[in-house]
Amino acid sequence: MKKMIAFVIVGMMCIGLFAGCATPAPSGTAGAPTTAPSAPTTAPVKVTYPLSMKDAFDKNVDVKAEPARVVSLAPTTTEIVFALGAGAKLVGRTDYCDFPAEAAKVPSVGEVVNPNVETIVSMKPDVIFASSMTKADIITKLRQLKFAVYMEDDLKGIAGAYQSIADLGQILNKQEAAGGVLLSMKNHLLYIKGKMQKVKARPSVYYVVGFGQYGDWTPGKGTFIDEAINLAGGTNSGASAVEWKFSLEQLIKNKPDIILCQKNPDLKGDFVKAEKYKDLPAVKAGKVYSIDNNKLDRAGPRIIDGIDELSRLIQPTLWN
């Protein structure tokens, strides 16, 4: 458990370093669009290979032919591959690629941060999907070996999810499937925004990433979680966090109405029992909830589902 919590905190610190580049969270949902996006009226342009494009970090990706063998070094891209109906092409994934359940049947190349290069090479992938969580020298090595590597960006939240889905759809010749996934996600977000237009009071919400001996960690202003809390009808009690670092004193002073704990790893049980936090009003009132953070941490097909889950915890009466 300690190792997993440490891994999560390190990952969140990496996200925090780029928080200043994120789009500021909206202060409310007034003026949210109410017209649903329409389905494309024309068929997607057929992909032709060889294909040259840019990834989320503006690096060139050259794919010689329609990929038949794919290695995914990020849980996000693994989810996207399956959502596009291309799971049968996946020949390698990481230990943390745990959704959907079928992903467990795919051989692992090791950890997200430090996957085994020899194993990846042995899989002879036509394309490799990765994220900024993987060590830069490993990505460089794979590119030097002439593998096509596309890197997605979890730090861009919803916009990053939309871009990655569209790009992977193009690379895998699954543009029509990608269009369907994107349409569903955009309609779902509009539905949530419509619900949140009826918000009368916004409770303060503290989102627990780490606590106790590791210090107190929470997403500050400008992060995607901050944006998600606002979209879900709350205000971020930890908005003043600096690179995800917060103080116990400020947490006690803020007295958040609701406290959300990550499920992966499961933090709620230890948090509510900890001596330092037991007198917080939200703990006493039983308003400490677990949230499936994988939906929010991964800028993929389930990111809007994560906002939906948040909104049902923060504004339950609007969903009754």
CATH of the domain at 258: 3.40.50.1980
Domain assignment of residue 152, given as a range: 51-192
* Confidence at residue 4, expressed as pLDDT on a 0 to 100 scale: 42
Q: How confident is the model at residue 18 (pLDDT cuts 50, 70, 90)?
A: very low
pLDDT more than 70, % of the chain? 86
Residues 68 and 176 grouped into a single domain? yes
User: How crowded is the C-beta side of 290, counted as CA atoms within 13 Å?
Assistant: 12
Centroid of chain to Cα 134: 15
* Domains in the chain, number: 2
This prediction's pTM: 0.86
Residues 115 and 210 grouped into a single domain? no
Q: How confident is the model at residue 286 (pLDDT cuts 50, 70, 90)?
A: very high
Alpha carbons 49 and 37: distance in angstroms, whole number: 30
pLDDT more than 90, % of the chain? 81
Would you say residue 184 has pLDDT above 90?
Answer: yes
* Confidence at residue 17, expressed as pLDDT on a 0 to 100 scale: 32
Q: How confident is the model at residue 320 (pLDDT cuts 50, 70, 90)?
A: confident
Residues 219 and 136 grouped into a single domain? no
Alpha carbons 114 and 95: distance in angstroms, whole number: 11
pLDDT digits (tens, 9 = 90+) for 95-130: 999 999 999 999 999 999 999 999 999 999 999 999
